[in-house]
Structures are given as structure tokens and as C-alpha cells.
Homo-oligomer: A and B are copies of this chain.
Amino acid sequence: MKIHIINPNSTASMTDKIAAAARGIASPGTQIIATNPSGTPASIEGFADEAVSVPPLLDEIRNGTEAGADAFVVACFDDPGLNACREVTDRPVIGICEAAMMTASILAARFSVVTTLPRAIPIIEDLADHYGMGRRCRRVRSAEIPVLALEDEGDAAAQKVRAEVLKSVAEDGAEAVILGCAGMADLAAALTEEAGVPVIDGVIAATKMAEALAGLGLKTSKAGAYAFPRQK
């Protein structure tokens, strides 16, 4: 089985980290392909960064489909272009925010999200609403760090994430915490231990869900909203 994970930004070190996290969790027999387009922003921090990353992301999806991917993961927590991706392939496509929230809602009655910059808070809140999370999503918190700070040496950024994870449990009544950026994939295991609740990384969650979807043998519906784009 071939799971193709696309990091929509152009920072290869982040793609590597994502790939490592996915490979660490993948089933035997699963091949993880992790790519990123070139020419997209170095990080995706807001709607405009999302917008310019989506057309190259669609090309990755099309190329990946031809190359035989069984399912795709879009590895940016804003789930940019998810619906468009579903149009251009018949393989299942899952977003890491979507996967993380589904997973959290199975493991816990209430969760919080810890993301990077404050400007992502309304974006993620809107995603939680769109995914029907309602009261399950207690709060979206920001660690007040830019995305690429997670690529820096040292653990200053990680410490800020950790602090917000612990506050989620102590102040929000969160029974699980979601890490709201693909660049946090390496932090989940240690924080789960320390916080005493499931700390869920979307890359990991989405990798397993992509395996599940590919294993189901079902394809993205081509009967309506996700039909292939019309030729003009």
C-alpha cells in the first residue's frame, strides 16, 4: 500500500520530519511517500499562504495518482484545498486537522487544539465547526510561535507548545489535546506521557486513517461535488 503525504509548503526539513513521523507509525507493507511542491510558501500561515499552495498541491495529487498512490494525506493543519484535492483524484484524500479531530472525538469527549500563530485560531475554529465538532472542541490555543520556529534548533518553541498543552488540560477541561501544526509531529509521544491525556498529532492520525481508507477499497465519490473537473 502506498500512502502519499503532501506537505503543501516548500520547507523540505518539515517534509522530512513529517515523513519520519509517518514511517514511525505506518503498518508493515505500507510505503510512505512524502513530498512537497516547490514554489509554495516556506510555511502556511493564513489564507493567502494556503491559496497559493493549493494549485501546486493539486499537481502533486495528480502526479501521485498516476504514480499509483492508494490514498493521500494533506499535511498542513489548515486542511488547505482538501475539497479541490478530492476532485482531481479518485483516491481517498484526508486532511490532518480532519483526521486529528475525528480521532480526538473517538478517544475523548472534549479536546483543545494548540496551534502556532494567533491568526490561525479563527481558521481552526471554523474547521472545527465545519467538521461538526461543536462543544467537543473546547478551545483553540496559540503557542505564539511562527511555524518555522518548530524547525529551529533548541526547544524554545517546543516548550511553548508544551505549556499550552498543559494549560488545555488544567484550564479547559480538555480530555485530549490536538497539536495544530504538521511541524509538531515529533512532540506528541512525550507530551501524551507528560500530560496524562492523548496528545494527538494530525500527521500520525491521518497516516493511519489513510491506510484504513485505502484498505477499504472505496474511492472518492465522483457523483457530485467531487466529480473530476469539467473539461472546457
Contacts and interface: CB of A to CB of B under 8 A. Distances in A.
A92 to B, nearest CB: 6
A225 B92 contact: no
A190 to B, nearest CB: 13
A163 interface: no
Contacts of A83: 47, 109
Indicate the size class of the contact surface on chain A.
35 or more
A17 interface: no
Given A132-B134, A218-B103, A55 B51 contact: yes
A29 B215 CA distance: 13
A225 B129 contact: no
Contacts of A173: 118, 121-122, 224
B208 A213 contact: yes
Interface string A216-232: 11111101111101101
Interface string A57-69: 0100000000000
Q: Which 8 A-B pairs have the closest CB atoms?
A: A132-B132, A109-B225, A208-B212, A108-B221, A175-B224, A51-B84, A47-B83, A47-B84
